[in-house]
Structures are given as C-alpha cells and as structure tokens.
Amino acid sequence: MRVGVVTFPGTLDDHDAARAVRFAGGEALSLWHGDSDLQGVAGVILPGGFSYGDYLRCGAIARFSPIMSAIIPAAEKGLPVLGICNGFQVLCESHLLPGALTRNSELHFLCRDQEIEIVNNESAWTSDFSNGERIIIPLKNGEGSFQCDDRTLNELESNNRVIARYVGLNPNGSRNSIAGITNARGNVVGVMPHPEHAVDPLTGPTADGLAFFTSLMKTRI
Amino acid sequence: MAKVIVDVVLKDEILDPQGDAISRALPRMGFTFSPTSVRQGKSFIITLDHEPGSDELSEIEKAAATLLSNPVIESFSIRVEN
Amino acid sequence: MAKVIVDVVLKDEILDPQGDAISRALPRMGFTFSPTSVRQGKSFIITLDHEPGSDELSEIEKAAATLLSNPVIESFSIRVEN
Amino acid sequence: MMLDTVARATSTPELNQPWRELGLKEDEYQRIREILGRRPTSSELAMYSVMWSEHCSYKSSKVHLRQFGEKAPKSDALLVGIGENAGVVDVGQGYAVTFKVESHNHPSFIEPYQGAATGVGGIVRDILTMGARPIAILDPLRFGPADAADTKRVLPGVIAGIGGYGNCIGVPTVGGEVIFDDSYSGNPLVNALCVGVMKHEDIKLAKASGAGNLVVLFGAKTGGDGIGGVSVLASETFDDKKATKRPAVQVGDPFTEKVLIECSLEIFKEDLVVGIQDLGGAGLSCATSELASAGTGGMHVELDRVPLRDANLSPEEILMSESQERMCAVVPPEKVERFMELCKKWDVVATVIGQVTSGKHLEITWHGELIVDVPPRTVAHDGPVYNRPFTRPSWQGELVANGAENLPRPRSESALADAILTLISSPNISDKSWITSQYDKYVQGNTIAAGPCDAAVIRIDESTFLGVAVATDCNGRFCKLDPYEGTQLALAESFRNVAVTGAKPLAITNCLNFGSPEDAGVMWQFAESVRALADGALEMGLPVTGGNVSFYNQTGAVAILPTPVIGVLGVIDDVRKAIPYKFSGVKELILLGETFEEFSGGEWAHLQGHLGGLPPRVDLKREMILAQFMHAQRDFISAAHDLSDGGLAVALIEMLLHSQMGAKISIHGDPFTQLFSESTGRILLAVNPEDSNYLVGKATDAGITTTRLGESGGENLEISGVLSMSMLHIREANQGTIPALFTA
Ligand SMILES: Nc1ncnc2c1ncn2[C@@H]1O[C@H](COP(=O)(O)OP(=O)(O)O)[C@@H](O)[C@H]1O
Ligand SMILES: [Mg+2]
C-alpha cells in the first residue's frame, strides 16, 4: 500500500513517518508541499515539525499550500489522513478537524514519554488497537493544548470522536485530556503525540505507535 | 504612509495560560494593582506607503479573518494609524 | 470597568522572522495589497473593575517595562479603553 | 557621507581614523598601514579591526593552541584537522563525523533567549559547512547560584532559546551540562556542541579556488545585526554621537536555518560547490577573507549586490553585519544555474556577489568603486600574535594548602543520610528533566541514549547500526585548584562517559572559557589548561580536532572558574550493543576502580561552602584500560554509570532512580569516604548475577580493582550497618529542586 508523506518547508518528522509506514509493511511516497498531485496514494500523513516555521500560528500557513488544496477535498471524500503534532495543527487550521491547538499550559516545549489511552478503535488509523488499550509514545510540542468551545466538545464526546486521551496528569491543558480526535467519517485523524517515534524500542520508548500505521494497512478503502 | 493594525485576541471562553501566568506573576513581583483578568493577544502591524483605500481595507479584513486569526479560537479588530 | 492595553512591538532594527513570513505568505495566498512591512507584536489586555488611577497606571507602566516587555529588543505603548 | 575609496585613502594619508574606538592597538593600526602601504579605507579598517579581534584572531591563545598540532598523536582517524570550521574523523563504513563546541556567553547574558538560540544556530552552520548533516546538539551550561534573581532571568531564557532553535531545525538536543556557581553570576556560560555526519567524499572545505568561479551568498538577507561599534564608521565623523544605533542583539530565524540545511545538503549531494563558508562572527569580512586566503588569494566582490533587509546600511556595516542564517559558496559557473534552482526550490535567497580571480588580492567594490584592496591572508590568518605574560597567581599556594579532607565529616546514620539528601537535592546534582524535557530528543529517529545519561548515543546508519557516543565535561572547581590536573580530569571524565557506553573514544574537541587574558594569573590558568589537554590527548592517542576559546569571562576584576569544557566523541560499531544507563530486574552492583580520600573541589565540599586543596589524582592510562574493558565486556554488562560529582552516593542513586529500583549494598572502610569521595577512574556496573564472577575475573586480569557492592531490589537504599533510606523519599528530594526554582 502506498502512503504519501508530506514535506512542507520546516517539516521535521517526515523521515520518521516514512520509516513507520515501511515498518508497518507499506510503501512511503514523499509528497512535496508545492505539488498538488497526490499520485494515487491510499493514505496521507502530515508529519510533525514547524511547517513554514509555524510563524503566525502553527499550521496556519501550511493550510494554504498547493498540496493541502489537493488533500482537503480528497479527505472530504474519504481519503485516510493522519496528522501528527504539526500535522494535527494543519488539519485543524484546514477545518478538516474541529478545534485548535494552543500553547501548553506550562508555557514551554515539552518532550516526554507519554501514556495515552486509545478510546476509539473505529477510525482508519486506530483499528489495530483495542478500545481502552494504553500505550506509551513520545509527546513533543510547545502548542499541544487541544481547545474548542463547549458545543464542539460535546459533539466530539457524544459522537465518539475522541480517539485518544492522556493518562494521568494532563501534560498540556487539553480539554478533557484529549490527545487525538477524528472527523465524523473516521478517515481523518489528528494526534498530538508521535506514534512514528515509537515503532522500534531501540530509538523510541516502545513500539506501541506502530499500530497507527498497521491500522491503515488493514483499512478497506 | 499609514499603519493598519490587526489586533487578535483569544475568545473569552478559550484558556489563556500566558495571561494567567502573568496574573500570577504580578503580585509576586510586588505589583499591587489587581486586574480582574489579564489576557495576551497578538497584533500585526501592516505598514503601507499610502493611505489605504476601502478596497484595500476590506482585503486586509479578509486576511485578518482567514490568515491572521483563527476564528475557532480568536477574534480580531482593525485600527488605522497615520 | 476599564481595559488597559499594553502593546509590545519589536524595535524596528530587530529582525522579525514572523512578520517576514507573513509578508511572504500574503501574495502567495492571492492578497494584492502590498505592505512595505509586516511586523508582529504582542498585546496584554488588563481588565480592571474600575477606572485606573494615575498611581495604578504608573504601576502598569512599570510592569510593562519589566515583566511584559523585554527592553533589550522591544518597546511598548499603553492605551486605556473603557 | 563620502564613500571612502582606495583612491581617497591614497590621497588623504593623514585622515584621522577611529582605530582605537574599533579596538585596535596603535601598533596594530601601524601594521595595517605598513601592509597596505597607505592608510586603510574605512571598510578595510572595519575588516581588520574585527578580524584581528581576540575572538576572530586568537591573538592571545594562538601560541598555546599550537601545542595541539605539535604534540598531536598519530591518528589514522583524523580526516580534517584544526583550522577548518570543524575537525572531521573517520568512523568507518565510509562515514565521517565532525563535531565542535562554541561559546555564546556574552550575548546570552544580554538577551538569554536570542543569545542561546543564535549560539545553537552558529555551531550548527559550522557543522553544516563541512558538508555534514547536523545530527545532535549538546549544551554545556554554567549559571550563577540557582536561587539568584538573575539566574531566574537567564536560565529559563537560555533553555527556551536552545530548545526554540534546536527543536525547530530538527536536530535533537541530547546532552550537555547544567552547573551553578557564584563565579558565573555576571557571566553565564552558554556553550553549544554540534555533531554532524557525512560520507567521506562529501567533506567540504572553506576555500575559494579556480579563477572564474562564482562567489554566491545565500540564506537570510543582511541586516544591521551585531555591528555595534562599527557603526561609528558610518557616521559623518567618528566622534559624531548621532551614529546610527544598531542592535547588538542578533535574532535567530530557525526556520530559515532549517531550510538552509536541507537546501545546502541537496547542493552538496549534487557536488555544486568547490568551497563553502558559513557567516558567523565578522560576517562577510570573515567569510570572504578566509575563503580567499585559504584558496589562491584572488577574489572580487561587488558588495552592492548583497541583498539587504535594511536599505540604509553602509558598506562598512554590510561587511561587519552578523545577521544569522547566511552562507557563502564558491560555485563553478557551469553549475550556478542548478545551484540557483535548488535555492529556488527551498525559497532561499541566493545572489552571485563576486568571483574568484587569478590575482592575489581581495577586492571589494561598492557601485563600481574600489573600497577594499587587501592581501586576504593579512586579514584572515596573519593577525597579531601575543605572547602574553602568565604567572601562577600568588593566592594559588594558600588555596591548595587548605584541603577539604580536613573538614568535619558526617558520621552518624542520620548525618550521613542528611548529607546524601542535601547532595542529591542540590541544584548541581538534582534531576534536570525540567530542562531536558524542553528539548526534542527524538527528532531524526536515531537517538539511542539522551540525557540524563553519561554520553549521548546516536545511530548514524539504519542498516548497519553504526553510531557515535558524545559527552562534554568540566569541573571548574578542580581547574581552579589546579588548571593542569583539572583539565585532564575533565578530559578523563568526558572520555569515561563515552567509554561507559562501550564506545571507542576517537577524538576531542574543547571550548576554553576563561577570564581576561590580560590578567597574568588567568593566562597561567589558560596556558596550563592547554598544556594539559595537549599532553593528555597525546597520552591517550586522541586528536584534538578543533575547539573554541572564550576569554574575558569575568565580572569586574573577578574571573569565572577556569572552565575548559572538553568534548569527546567515540564510535560504536553496533548501537544495539551500547551499554545503557538503566537496567531492570535484580542485578549485582559492582564498582570498578579505586576510592581514595579525595574531597577537595568535589560536590560535598562545595555544599560546605569550601573550595581548596588539590583535586583528585588523574591517571589517563587507567582510564584507557577501563575503556578497553568496557568495550570488550559490553555483552556482559547490563548497565553502567560513571562516578563523578558526588561520588558513589550520587552515581548509585542516579542509576537506581532511573531504573526505578532500590538496592541492598555493603561498603567497607570509612562510609563517608566510600560514599562521597570523587576519586576518578571509577565506574558502577549492574550485571546479571550469573555473569558477575566472570566479569570480576576479567576485570582483575586487566588490573582493575573491583568491589562487589551488593544487589538491586526493594524500595529502599540499604547500606548495611550504615543507613537505610526510602527511594521514594530520595526521588522527591532529587526531582523537586529545579522545578521549584524555575517554574514560572
Ligand atoms: N581551543 C581550541 N582547540 C582547538 N582548536 C581550536 C581552539 N580554538 C579554536 N580552534 C580552531 O581554530 C579555528 C578557528 O576557529 P573559529 O574562528 O572559532 O572558527 P569559526 O569561525 O568557524 O567558528 C577552528 O578550526 C577551530 O576549531
Ligand atoms: Mg565557521
């Protein structure tokens, strides 16, 4: 299965995302921000980093790139898209996902091994987990606090659109300890911690993150 | 020459940890005025080499609404200085 | 009730990569107004439950000069809104 | 103001020039006149003044640094030595690794965030310039007392600045040091080390050769950053106080640097440059004169082509500007089109500003008029050389006579337990994760070990698992007591930190932070330190591949502790075999090395407010034996941790805390000495009980003293007959200090 990994100027974790796709048995294809051809990929990953320096707001400028103008309509039609960290921010800025990611409550960048609980295993990117499964993957960002208004929060909670929550102390002030969400259809997922950095215990805290990528391999499109 | 300033603030219901941190720091640093709240905002100072026409102002307003602020969490206002 | 707003901007001679990034993004996104520069600033909105007296304003000014801005690279101004 | 051309300089030989304001000495100014056979133009004066400054010319340190070449051991690993932007060593499989430390002390004191951020940016460009991908950053830091008000201003800003820059350019920050001492109150040290990796054939050098090749400036536009004093040249007369005020503070743009890294690496891959130099201190003056000087000498630059952020800059200011995120490349004409295409792809501004000529001079014009015409070597390499006087300070004798070995020692169970708690909760020893968690250690996906640990371990090849281990160290108190021994102790510790991972140490870099070279006592400390490092490197057979000297670190007349930070890099053939710092399950704990009554300059003495005596004795040969043992026996060692600050008590507790374990041990002899001595050449091992006899046998064969301490397990630290403490209690004491001091 071919999975596109987008590189914006300032993207940092594209190689890691591609490695994770390969570890999961897929083929990673690099997509350049300035192109608008998705080359027939079966899914797209927006990796972490600081697209366009994250100046203005995280993900704000990336949203207007040519590649996003191809991804947005495709995602609306059901193409699986996973946004990790900065990718999650881009998905929110693109209105493919609701809410926004804001400054961590402790006001500084935080890199640590974070326990999260998968609370919805019906999305395209979480089907290889079981519900309630607890995993440890790296969290690393300065603006990872998930915020939205009460109505949106209600909608997310009552429609089972939260896919993962932080376990224990809320690391960044996210509402309801939300670590990741999905769109109504379940094909677009945003997650703040980094599953692509947990596919090999040699370089990550665990290999727990791999299931995000193997989930896609099992998704029927 | 003119400056068009777009002020962006977080909506009231959105958590503002930076504003809160400042509220907490003020008394610690010996300041005695006691605000009911402190919020941190952003501003964009757009300098033009001429007075902006109404077309330009409405373009700037569009930029403010789409690029410079995120309507999900922020609101904005525009002022012109000469 | 009153709002005292402290506007903080980078001094003119200090590089503002954020402002520059916005300048570059505008034409790419199809905006046609062409600023000579875009600078990004910060603002602190201090809400009080009363009109600030002159003592309070001078305290706020002191806070602006020490806590809210970094005099090495930034300058500030204060405005009061009711 | 009238443009000061070469023609004008020739016709107005007596014009008064502000050489003194620019920091030149009278004889230095006269030498410039002799070299040129006329007075310099204001642009030439700007170039010479900054290139002949202490920072750029190493005029006070040169005579000493020569020892690194003179005493250099034979090393097959050394591919590029001192003199280039950074040294390069061969790590096998066709890979080469480059690493270097640099200081950004003074800027970080003025503006902690930007000072530290641009420090990281600068060292990363030095590494990139060698043709390498930057793969790791380490940050040796020194601050005033942890509870001082100014430390609360400086430290959080420095940490945020390092993280803000390193995280954003996607290079993991994986190690370093955080040390507090009074002497750094008005002069914190912000050093940054960067490691880069490349294939042998990709090594790039900073030289401009081949007449007709083009000089291309690429990266950020040039603004008025960091040109401070030089702006006097731009004023009507140099005593005109209205001189434009330029910011001394440079602001970093990590996004531009990230793009510059990717763009440069693509340019290197297609072999489009014959020489390349980053723009750091002294900006274009340095880059053009160094490139030309290292090449055949001739270069012509049209300065008015330099893209500007501030259109009002004068030519002198453009030459001096220290705007960040800029590089200068020498490109053959037939390759320039492709070069420009790649820059366009990454949205990097690139401009041809000149070309290499067949002449011997660096000529710079401004709108067609000649404003600089100099032999580039005289600017870049033939600066003044000072043989500054140095003498052992008169107070040194009294200082070393007063050893900490004579202080009253804790003896009772409760006094020993208190001493342990005080030690592990003290700012120097306490847990630094509040700091390290602000750094992205995972980016690039090759981090095998990152701080807190002895050495960072980074994989450089995903298929063969080749990797490197890097550490930095320095105990400035030891160096104050004896700069020679202290420097070798720093070398020994850094070396041992690499060795405990099982890596083979390969090369040394250094950042020599000292007070004023005009103080004969400081100069003595410096001379001793360099002599010690050169001797030590020779004894250990490791090349010093580069480094940096930072002088004038003092507040008023009081110098900082002499702080020669030593970095050691080692190679690991298979990172899967790297010895970790933590273990799980029940292990036997074994101490390698001998313990003597050595407390002077140590952490316990420091907490008693005491500094005096002689530092621990160092034995580099023993360190080498230990390293060989660790490498040879790595398959039988579950975890290892080197003993340093705070001795066995601290090393044991750190290892247990990270492994979430307690332990039951017994010690023989004076418990205080066993627990708190800082004798060097010691390593704590955790091994599977079934391997312990074998290991102890092997160590004994190698001539290494071993002590079987006991076993891990339980929830307490029990030292039989001495004390018992709850690990939970210990953890709280260890972890609370830094967050309590620095959380906003
Ligand atoms: N303490 C030192 N030990 C070894 N080499 C040094 C030391 N200080 C400076 N050097 C070497 O001198 C050369 C010039 O240093 P520097 O001017 O700092 O380089 P750059 O401008 O590229 O940062 C480099 O090769 C550097 O490694
Ligand atoms: Mg350099």
pLDDT at D241: 45
Which atom of ligand 1 lies closest to the CA of D544? Answer: 4
d(CA D191, CA D548) in angstroms, rounded, equals 10
Average pLDDT score over residue span D26-39: 96
DSSP string, D711-742: EE-SSEEEETTTEEEEHHHHHHHHHHHHHHHH
DSSP state of D61: T
The pLDDT tens digits for D601-622 are 999 999 999 999 999 999 999 9
The pLDDT tens digits for D299-346 are 999 999 999 988 889 999 999 999 999 999 999 999 999 999 999 999
DSSP state of D308: B
CATH, range A2-218: 3.40.50.880
| Structural domain that includes position C32 | 2-81
pLDDT at D74: 87
CA distances for D126 relative to D273, D279, D320, D600, angstroms: 16, 9, 18, 38
With tokens 């531009």, the residue in question is D256
DSSP string, D473-487: E--HHHHHH-HHHHH
Cα D204 to ligand 2 centre (Å): 12
The model's confidence at residue D237, banded by pLDDT at 50, 70 and 90, is: very low
Closest residue in A to C16 (Cα) is A55
The model's confidence at residue D84, banded by pLDDT at 50, 70 and 90, is: confident
Closest residue in B to C31 (Cα) is B59
Asked if residue D232 has pLDDT above 60, the reply is: no
pLDDT at B28: 87
The model's confidence at residue D238, banded by pLDDT at 50, 70 and 90, is: very low
pLDDT at D726: 97
Closest residue in C to D221 (Cα) is C15
The pLDDT tens digits for C69-80 are 998 889 999 999
Q: Which two tokens stand for residue D161?
A: 């600045």
pTM to 2 decimal places: 0.95
The model's confidence at residue D243, banded by pLDDT at 50, 70 and 90, is: very low
Average pLDDT score over residue span C13-20: 89
Q: Which two tokens stand for residue D646?
A: 């705070």
DSSP state of D453: S
Is residue D649 a contact partner of residue D420, using CB atoms and an 8 Å limit? yes
Is residue D138 a contact partner of residue D191, using CB atoms and an 8 Å limit? no
Q: What size, in residues, is chain D?
A: 744
Asked if residue D470 has pLDDT above 90, the reply is: yes
Cα D297 to ligand 2 centre (Å): 19
d(CA A142, CA A150) in angstroms, rounded, equals 23
The pLDDT tens digits for A81-135 are 999 999 999 999 999 999 999 999 999 999 999 999 999 999 999 999 999 999 9
pLDDT at D281: 81
Residues in Cβ contact with B77 at an 8 Å cutoff, skipping those fewer than 6 apart: B6, B7
Residues B72, A102: C-beta atoms closer than 8 Å: no
3 state DSSP class of D497: helix
Asked if residue D239 has pLDDT above 50, the reply is: no
> Between D686 and C82, whose confidence is greater?
D686
Residues B7, C43: C-beta atoms closer than 8 Å: yes
The pLDDT tens digits for D709-723 are 999 999 999 999 999
Asked if residue B24 has pLDDT above 80, the reply is: yes
* Residue boundaries of the structural domains of chain A: 2-218
Residues A56, C28: C-beta atoms closer than 8 Å: no
3 state DSSP class of A55: coil
The pLDDT tens digits for A37-81 are 999 999 999 999 999 999 889 999 999 999 999 999 999 999 999
Phi-psi region of D217 (alpha: psi -120 to 50; beta: other; left: phi over 0): beta
Q: Which residues of D309-321 are buried (b: 16+ CB within 10 A; e: fewer)?
A: bbeebbbbbbbbb
Residues in chain B closer than 8 A to C38 (CB atoms): 44-47
DSSP state of D561: P
Q: Provide the domain count of chain B.
A: 1
- Known active-site residue A143: no
What does pLDDT average to over chain C?
92
Q: Find the chain A residues whose C-beta atoms sit closer than 8 A to any C-beta of D.
A: 9-10, 12-13, 15-16, 19, 49-50, 52-55, 106-112, 138, 140, 142, 194, 196-197, 202-204
Strand runs labelled E in A38-182: 43-46, 81-84, 100-102, 110-118, 134-141, 145-147, 162-166, 178-182
Angle at A188 between CA A184 and CA A191, to 5 degrees: 110
User: How much is the ipTM here?
Assistant: 0.93
Residues in chain D closer than 8 A to A110 (CB atoms): 437-438
Q: For chain C, say whether D150 makes contact (Cβ under 8 Å).
A: no
Cα D695 to ligand 1 centre (Å): 42
Closest residue in D to A58 (Cα) is D168
- Known active-site residue A194: yes
At CB < 8 A and 24+ separation, what contacts does A34-38 make?
A34/A65, A34/A66, A34/A67, A35/A66, A35/A67, A36/A66, A36/A67, A36/A69, A36/A70, A37/A70, A38/A4, A38/A70, A38/A71, A38/A74, A38/A79
pLDDT at D247: 58
The model's confidence at residue D233, banded by pLDDT at 50, 70 and 90, is: low
CA distances for D581 relative to A78, D311, D456, D651, D652, angstroms: 46, 55, 11, 11, 11
Is residue D467 a contact partner of residue D448, using CB atoms and an 8 Å limit? yes
Closest residue in A to C38 (Cα) is A56
What does pLDDT average to over chain A?
96
pLDDT at D191: 98
Catalytic residues of D: 55, 104
Cα D277 to ligand 2 centre (Å): 6
% of chain D surpassing 90 pLDDT:
89
Asked if residue D235 has pLDDT above 60, the reply is: no
Which atom of ligand 1 lies closest to the CA of D56? Answer: 17
d(CA D55, CA D512) in angstroms, rounded, equals 12
Q: Which listed ligand is nearest to D285 at the C-alpha? A: 1
DSSP state of A160: T
Q: Which two tokens stand for residue A38?
A: 């998705």
Chain A neighbors (3+ CB pairs < 8 Å): B, C, D
Q: For chain D, say whether C14 makes contact (Cβ under 8 Å).
A: yes
* CATH code, domain carrying B18: 3.30.1280.10
Q: Which residue's CA is the nearest one to ligand 1's atom 10?
A: D547
The model's confidence at residue D85, banded by pLDDT at 50, 70 and 90, is: confident
Nearest to D251 by CA among D102, D113, D109: D113
Q: Which residue's CA is the nearest one to ligand 1's atom 18?
A: D548
* Pocket mutation for ligand 1, best pick of D548, D551, D568 (most atoms within 8 Å of C-beta): D548
Angle at D19 between CA D18 and CA D21, to 5 degrees: 70
Q: CA-based Rg of chain A, rounded to a whole angstrom?
A: 15
Partner residue facing D445 (CB), from A16, A106, A140: A16
pLDDT at D102: 95
Partner residue facing C47 (CB), from B32, B35, B46: B35
* Mutation to test the A interface, candidates B67, B68, B74, most A Cβ within 10 Å: B67
Q: Find the chain B residues whose C-beta atoms sit closer than 8 A to any C-beta of C.
A: 7, 9, 19, 22, 25-26, 29, 31-49, 52, 56, 59-60, 62-63, 66-68
Angle at C28 between CA C25 and CA C33, to 5 degrees: 80
Residues A64, C21: C-beta atoms closer than 8 Å: no
pLDDT at D249: 79
Asked if residue D226 has pLDDT above 80, the reply is: no
Total H helices, total E strands in chain B: 2, 3
DSSP state of A52: G
Average pLDDT score over residue span D72-88: 88
3 state DSSP class of D464: coil
Cα C65 to ligand 2 centre (Å): 37
Q: Which listed ligand is nearest to D102 at the C-alpha? A: 1
Task: Tell me the shortest Cα–Cα distance from D224 to chain C, in angstroms.
Answer: 7
Task: Tell me the shortest Cα–Cα distance from C42 to chain A, in angstroms.
Answer: 12
* Cα-Cα-Cα-Cα dihedral sign, residues A67, A72, A78, A80: positive
Is residue D348 a contact partner of residue D262, using CB atoms and an 8 Å limit? no
Cα D381 to ligand 1 centre (Å): 12
Asked if residue A186 has pLDDT above 90, the reply is: yes
Phi-psi region of D542 (alpha: psi -120 to 50; beta: other; left: phi over 0): beta
What does pLDDT average to over chain D?
94
Partner residue facing A55 (CB), from D255, D439, D445: D255
The model's confidence at residue D10, banded by pLDDT at 50, 70 and 90, is: very high
Average pLDDT score over residue span D189-207: 95
pLDDT at D230: 57
* Pocket mutation for ligand 1, best pick of D50, D82, D123 (most atoms within 8 Å of C-beta): D82
> Between A175 and D244, whose confidence is greater?
A175
pLDDT at A41: 97
Asked if residue D511 has pLDDT above 90, the reply is: yes
The pLDDT tens digits for D378-400 are 999 999 999 999 999 999 999 99
Asked if residue D481 has pLDDT above 60, the reply is: yes
> Between D50 and D677, whose confidence is greater?
D677
Q: For chain C, say whether A55 makes contact (Cβ under 8 Å).
A: yes
pLDDT at D167: 97
Q: Which residue's CA is the nearest one to ligand 1's atom 5?
A: D546
Asked if residue A137 has pLDDT above 60, the reply is: yes
% of chain C surpassing 70 pLDDT:
100
* Mutation to test the A interface, candidates D347, D440, D444, most A Cβ within 10 Å: D440
Cα D507 to ligand 1 centre (Å): 15
